[in-house]
Amino acid sequence: MAAVTGLGTALPRSVDQEALWERGFRAHFGDSGFARRVFAGSGVRSRHTVVDPFAEGVAGWSTAQRMARFDREAPPLARAALREALDDANLAPGDLGLVAVVSCTGYGTPGLDIGLAADLGLAADAQRLAIGHMGCYAALPGLGAVSDFATARGLPAALVCVELTSLHIQPPDRDPEQVVAHALFGDAAAAAVVHPDAPGWEVLDVVSHTDTDTRDLMTWRITDHGFRMGLSARVPDVLAVAVRPVVEKMLARHGADVDGVAGWAVHPGGPRVLDTVAAGLGLPPAALAASRGVLAERGNCSSATVLLVLRELSARPGELVVAMAFGPGLTLYAVLLRRSA
């Protein structure tokens, strides 16, 4: 059975949330009391960013300028995260049969996948997969794809998520959805190496649930000034309806229930999202401590975040962990993992 045998992360410089507010977002949002309350209540204490957003005037950049900066900043983060994951798995780049790269914050061709192949010395016959614009949940279908490859081909595979959300600060306006998005998101890269037959986090199941009737509640639109997020306040309410049935159905297929899960790697889309998951599943406060800790120290880093949370968890052999993430659709993805010896 394919298992996650290595995890790695790479982060740019850390910036204090209060400093971001005082140095830029306070003026950006016209010293709005609403914006101040959102930033203070975001659950974020610090974030990581590849740019100095206000000193560099990112809000006025064209999409082309933002993509050029992504091309410069993303490759070293991707390399560092994958190197760390490979070291953790005791593998070399040439051992990989597939590398899947996930991002919804930057694009170019030749892309990150080809850059990694060249910079790390992947085998010429190593396969590549680019997963783009799926949003915050994309790491989990990506993990499913590399796990399926490892199982079917008998070769190690890797997943690399690189998200540079700081490149998409929008021109100033008073849109409440923009206030929430700008209060939450940070930059990060994270990688996972999957082996077809080695101890680690066994990938038992991957499930999804998409409610297309609510597809307008979370959006990620390409504009002339980067990518603009739409994030309705109704998102947690919609997730509240789906989360327990989806998780219970997945667990039941493996003879388990919610009480039998030892750890939860839940994407911290924001404090309300985490509260909704905890209430919907009847989890004690400590169950989502890793998710809240990642939100506090790194913010919401889109697809990379759930891997950041998984890296914070530990379990004894045989114990189950559920990884869960949410995004446009509205879509919920969940993965059932079991710790092997």
Residues 169-207: pLDDT tens digits?
999 988 999 999 999 999 999 999 999 999 999 999 999
Mean pLDDT (whole number) for 74-81: 98
Could you read off the pLDDT of 255-278 as tens digits, one per residue?
999 999 999 999 999 999 999 999
Coil, strand or helix: which one is 234? coil
Give the pLDDT confidence score for residue 341 in this predicted structure.
74
Give the pLDDT confidence score for residue 174 in this predicted structure.
85
Residues 41 and 187 in one domain: yes
DSSP 78-107: HHHHHHHHHHHHT--GGG-SEEEEEESS--
Residues 106 and 223 in one domain: no
Residues 55 and 11 in one domain: yes
**Total number of domains constituting the chain:** 2
Predicted confidence (pLDDT) at residue 139 exceeds the cutoff of 80:
yes
Q: Which of 155, 178, 195 is the last residue of a domain?
A: 195
Q: For residue 1, what pLDDT band results from cuts at 50, 70 and 90?
A: confident
Q: Cis peptide leading into 167, omega within 30 of 0?
A: no
Query: In what helix (H) or strand (E) does residue 9 lie, and over which residues does it extend?
Result: strand 3-10
Residues 91 and 234 in one domain: no
Give the pLDDT confidence score for residue 135 in this predicted structure.
95
CB 158 within 8 A of CB 93: no
Coil, strand or helix: which one is 77? helix
Active site residue 136: yes
Residues 216 and 169 in one domain: no
Q: Cis peptide leading into 110, omega within 30 of 0?
A: yes
Residues 110 and 160 in one domain: yes
Residues 80 and 29 in one domain: yes
Predicted confidence (pLDDT) at residue 147 exceeds the cutoff of 90:
yes
Q: Which of 178, 195, 212 is the last residue of a domain?
A: 195
Predicted confidence (pLDDT) at residue 14 exceeds the cutoff of 80:
yes
Give the pLDDT confidence score for residue 83 in this predicted structure.
98
How many of the other CB atoms lie within 10 Å of CB of 24?
A: 18
Q: Which residues contact 53 (CB under 8 A, 6 or more apart)?
A: 20, 24, 59, 166, 169
How many of the other CB atoms lie within 10 Å of CB of 72?
A: 10
Predicted confidence (pLDDT) at residue 37 exceeds the cutoff of 90:
yes
Give the pLDDT confidence score for residue 214 in this predicted structure.
92
Q: Which domain holds residue 8?
A: 3-195
Report the CATH number at residue 85. 3.40.47.10
pTM for the model stands at: 0.96
| Residue 314 DSSP code | -
Of 103 and 233, more confident: 103
104, 136, 161, 301: the active-site residue: 136
Residues 123 and 257 in one domain: no
Mean pLDDT (whole number) for 152-164: 98
Q: Which residues contact 245 (CB under 8 A, 6 or more apart)?
A: none
Most confidently predicted of 9-13, 109-113, 170-174 = 9-13
Query: Across all residues in the chain, what is the average pLDDT?
Result: 96
Predicted confidence (pLDDT) at residue 322 exceeds the cutoff of 80:
yes
Give the pLDDT confidence score for residue 165 in this predicted structure.
97
Write out the two tokens for 259.
Answer: 């009480």
Helix/strand/coil (H, E, C) string of 147-170?
HHHHHHHCCCEEEEEEEEHHHHCC
